[in-house]
A = this chain, B = another copy of it.
């Protein structure tokens, strides 16, 4: 059986580009005891993948040159020599940018119940994106009724869910996006009460849309946008540091405004969130989100390509904000 794989060809600095990857073909090896074979249906494209390939400070060791690109995917088990993993099961896990993955149970993030929601949602809304939105917003953000929740990359895979969950909590979500078109979508589909296009003068737009200040800042971008938002935080505001999409490279470490004084005088609490610390709560949280899909109280947006060869460009597009909602590559 032939296996198409996107492998890492060279080590990027900053955002990985298509030339850092290569599409290769390889036979699928024989399964050994304890292994199973996954046929990938949906490949996930995530900003976090930049960190997987760079030699930057990160929470996981970098993907070796020549190895299949580390990625999450939704797939079906088509052969198994592993006790507890059976043919025809669907799983979400570390199956890589490839057609087939020889996996072990360590690579599984979550067993999927395909009856619960459309299969693709298991890579986004019921995958790390929905989990991140739900847990980071509630654990760190703790939005109260009437509070203002500002979200960067608000039309993205995480932000599109945060807006709706913040609204459900009785808060007033405000979107930060890169185009008016995305802003309109945030108002129409994702529960946002207002939006800011960051290509316009940001401070004035924040004062207009968040007149009482920002109580919860769900930050997916970092950088200069974050610097400006910090100066519009309300006293005792909470800042969820969830991603740094706006930073093209951390080598060398970029500079920006010092924020020490803002954190001190506004008594902010800023906290980093990495979803992989919270996998024990995965099933519970995914069930809650699936129930919202079924009840029609949670919308999701997916931006689905169909060519495995396009996966590297899709990652570039996510960093450029050219996606709306969860970026996926559908293989079957």
Contact = CB atoms under 8 A, between A and B. Distances in A.
Count of chain copies:
2
Given A258-B247, A260-B223, A59 B265 contact: yes
Question: For A56, A254, A260, A268, which residue has the most chain B Cβ atoms within 10 angstroms?
Answer: A260
A243 interface: yes
Given A258-B223, A260-B226, A261-B57, A273 B267 contact: yes
Nearest to A222: B260
A264 B247 contact: no
Interface in A278-323: none
B256 A258 contact: yes
Contact of A264 (B256, B261, B272): B272
Given A59-B265, A255-B255, A265-B57, A244 B272 contact: no
A198 interface: no
A244 B222 contact: no
Contact of A265 (B58, B254, B261, B268): B58
**Could you say which interface size class chain A belongs to?**
35 or more
Given A269-B270, A270-B270, A271-B270, A243 B255 contact: no
Given A255-B255, A260-B241, A269 B269 contact: yes
A161 to B, nearest CB: 19
A247 B223 contact: no
23 contacts: A51-B265, A57-B265, A59-B265, A222-B260, A223-B260, A226-B260, A241-B260, A243-B264, A244-B260, A244-B264, A250-B261, A253-B257, A253-B258, A254-B257, A254-B258, A255-B255, A256-B258, A266-B272, A267-B271, A267-B272, A267-B273, A269-B271, A270-B270
Give the 10 A-B residue pairs with the shortest CB-CB distance, closest first.
A222-B260, A264-B272, A267-B272, A263-B272, A269-B271, A270-B270, A241-B263, A256-B258, A241-B264, A59-B265
